[in-house]
Amino acid sequence: MRVPSTHERQGRARLSERAADPSQRRDEDIAPYRPSRFMASMHAKKRKKAFHFDVPCGRGRRESGLTLTELMVATAVFTLVLGGVIYVHLFGLRMNEMVKAKLGASDEARRAISKMVGEIRSAGVVRVGNGSLGSFTEKPFGTKQEGNAIQIYPSKGNTNAFTRYFWDANDTRLKRTENGTNAVLVVANAITNAVVFTSEDFAGKVLTNNMNNRVIGLMLEFYQLEYPKTPIGPGHYYDYYRLRSRITRRALE
């Protein structure tokens, strides 16, 4: 408990004397009790430690949101990003089609020559000329050994067993058939050149006779890839596609 100071005791004594004699009262005696400077400083420190949080309300409060300019800028940025994503996607699709076209062309070429190369290398006799499904005419001596067909005899002594590859001008396809049957196997599609087979020397010059050590030349020019079916003419992926190969036989005539 705090002990009153001398000044406070004297003040209280004067108040008691004036209270006993109403004629001696003053206006300041009616005023409430005022604390000392020490008590006032203590109350001030307590007020400073207090935490006040004022929440704006009514018209002074700011609503959260986007302005029209901010919304337009955000829409423009989103449109640019979306356009870039679509462009990259379309570019990837086009590159995929180009790769598929190249793979398809390689697959077409591989199918066209793989079986033919094996039959020519193991053949006993090979003749170059012009032919179709029902006939074959060998190129005579003294003329260039080139044409749209080649006839392969597995053995030298048996001319009744043969395999014929010929280019059909009606549907521009390279076909394969065997003697004794009308079955036709399509080897390659969309071939533009009529001269498919040649008989050449070691330097690539077309011969005019059936030299024993000749080389069989094969050339296929495609104007359209069959798988996938992709035009390769002007305005497309390729101007043309050409397959060139040279094959020699293991056995000599």
- Tens of pLDDT, residue by residue, the chain (253 residues): 566 667 677 777 776 766 666 555 555 545 455 555 656 666 565 555 544 545 555 555 555 678 888 999 999 999 999 999 999 999 888 887 777 666 665 666 676 678 888 899 989 889 999 999 989 999 999 999 999 999 999 988 888 899 999 999 998 889 999 988 888 988 887 788 999 999 999 888 999 988 777 899 999 887 755 555 555 544 455 556 788 889 988 766 6
By three-state DSSP, how is residue 222 classified? strand
Helix, strand, coil percentages in the chain from 3-state DSSP, rounded to 5: 35, 25, 40
Residue 248 tokens read as 């020699």
> Residues with Cβ < 8 Å from 202, sequence gap 6 or more?
213, 215
- Torsion angles phi and psi, residue 95, rounded to 5: -65, -35
By three-state DSSP, how is residue 180 classified? coil
**C-alpha–C-alpha distance, residues 243 and 232, integer Å:** 14
Helices (H) and strands (E) in the chain, counts: 4, 12
**C-alpha–C-alpha distance, residues 3 and 233, integer Å:** 115
pTM > 0.85: no
**C-alpha–C-alpha distance, residues 250 and 49, integer Å:** 108
